[in-house]
Structure 1
Amino acid sequence: MCYDAVIFDNDGVLTKPTLLEVQREAVRRAFAEFDVEPTTEAVDGVINGGLTRLRRICAVHDVPVDDFWSRHETHAAATQRACLEDGTKPLYDDVVALDDIDHPLAVVSNNQHATIEHILDVFDIGDRFEVAYGRDPTVEGARVKKPDPHYIERAMGELGVDSALYVGDSNVDVVAADRAGLDSAFIRRPHREGYQLAAEPTYELDSLDELLAVC
């Protein structure tokens, strides 16, 4: 099928996923600003839970959720920038395949927008993408992250296209694409071996090199 554009998730698609301990460190640093030492369960709840769980955890520790989240996003961007610069969050080798895709390209990620900007800058790939969105560093930004199609739809509007293929590595990517009315390509990276899909993607790929045949 012919698409007007191709939109990519970042973590697990363009760059390797951020290590869990790095994500935990950002949460701990944010809590430390409120003199709170959270349990690992609470830390993981912030990382993996939704807004309801975040609000509950903040309430237990008597921490304002909006202030906490803003500080968390700052620390998360800083810790990931360090990973990008020290090589522990590298770009996948097959990203070079994007050079051969003759469509407008975009990035829409659940990661912080500052982190996405850092990635484009550190790896000098910003000129490959016409649009790049990470989540806003606010509670509202977290609320409308994937599987909500909000940022995908914003990217589509900015690109000025009616159809696109969304490339991701998780169920939320497939669901978000479906909610935006787009086809999806699930890329099964090594960290997704045995990963169970709850929704059916349009395509399943082993490498970004395979996008050339799809597009």
Structure 2
Amino acid sequence: MTAILFDMDGVVLEGPRTDPQVYADAADAALAALEADPTPAQRRDCRTHDHELIRTRCAELGIDPARFWELKEAYASSGTHDRLRSGERATYDDIDAIRDLGERTRIGLVTNNRHETAEFVASFVGIDFDVVRGRAPTFEGYDRRKPDPYYIEDALAALGVTDGLYVGDSPKDVTAGRAAGLETAFLRRSHNRDHELPTGTTHELESLTELPPLIESPESA
């Protein structure tokens, strides 16, 4: 197997997504940085990920929506990093298996989360990923999230390979991995323990520790 790519939230970081309060705080910080004075309704809408709604509210407030989004993403990254440093959000106990795999094959971190946070997490957990990809801090970057295979394909191009395995914890991970031409592994965690196995899953895992023998099997050669 030429490469193994990993999702981040729900695979490396505990929980399937960033806490919504992080985004609410980030939106508030971005509005303050741009010296906007929103009504409660405008503030509420700016805290969402609805691009058209955000563009409308930014126009009402006289601020650049692209700049607001960029700041919001940056503040969200900062808030996420603080939660990781403080231990408010933890990593899973089995991620040492990823580090061990890195000694045998190329590994990558590919997430719908922000690229700034993906790079921070790679450094924070001390895993030497060969490639790290997360969403760009733009509206277009957000729209390229999985199930779109864009970031997975970008990571594969950076590695110079076309085959491998993508490990994730959600149906969109399986969809994106398959669209990129990869085998897929659906990792069971507490938040998806009872979910139906996504259509198209190649492997079902109870732990990342099941990966080493899997990639050494003849079927994965």
- Over aligned residues, Cα RMSD in angstroms? 2.2
Instruction: Quote the Cα distance in structure 2 between the aligned partners of 1:80 and 1:122.
Output: 12
Q: Using the TM superposition, give the Cα deviation of residue 150 of structure 1 relative to its aligned residue in structure 2, in angstroms.
A: 1.2
Q: What SS does structure 2 have at the residue aligned with 1:35?
A: coil
Residue pair 2:3, 2:161 contacting (<8 A) in 1 also: yes
The Cα of 1:44 is off from its aligned counterpart by: 6.5
Pick the structure with greater CA Rg: 2
Corresponding position: 1:5 with 2:3? yes
CA distance in 1, matches of 2:211, 2:24: 34
Partner of 1:54: 51
**What is the CA-CA distance between 1:181 and the residue it aligns to?**
1.4
Q: What SS does structure 1 have at the residue aligned with 2:167?
A: strand
Alpha carbons 1:55, 1:65 under 8 Å: kept: no
Alignment-derived partner of residue 107 in structure 1: 109
Identity, % of aligned pairs? 38
What residue in structure 2 maps to residue 49 of structure 1? none
Separation of aligned partners in 1, 2:202 and 2:69? 35
Paired residues of 2:46 and 2:57 also in contact (CA < 8 A): no
In 2, Cα distance between the equivalents of 1:29 and 1:170? 31
Are residues 23 and 195 of structure 1, via their aligned partners in 2, closer, same or farther at CA, if it must alter by over 3 Å? farther
Q: CA deviation at 1:37?
A: 5.1
Name the SS for the 2:94 alignment partner.
helix
Corresponding residue for residue 219 of structure 2: none
Cα separation, 1, equivalents of 2:133 and 2:66: 21
Please give the TM-score of this superposition, normalised by the length of structure 1.
0.85
Contact 1:28 1:37 in 2 (8 A): no
How many residues are paired up? 205
Compute the TM-score of the two structures, normalised by the length of structure 2: 0.83
Alignment deviations for residues 121-180 of structure 1 (CA, whole Å, 9 cap, x no partner) = 22222x2x1111111111221121211111111111111112110011112211111211
In structure 1, runs of 5+ residues without a counterpart are: 47-52
The one-letter amino acid of 2:167's match is V
Residues 1:150 and 2:147 are matched in the alignment: no
What amino acid is the match of 1:42? D
Q: 1:42 aligns with which of 33, 45, 70?
A: 45
SS in 2 for 1:92: coil
What does 1:90-169 align with in structure 2 at a 5 Å threshold? 90-101=90-101, 102-125=104-127, 127=128, 129-169=129-169
Residue number in structure 2 paired with 1:170: 170
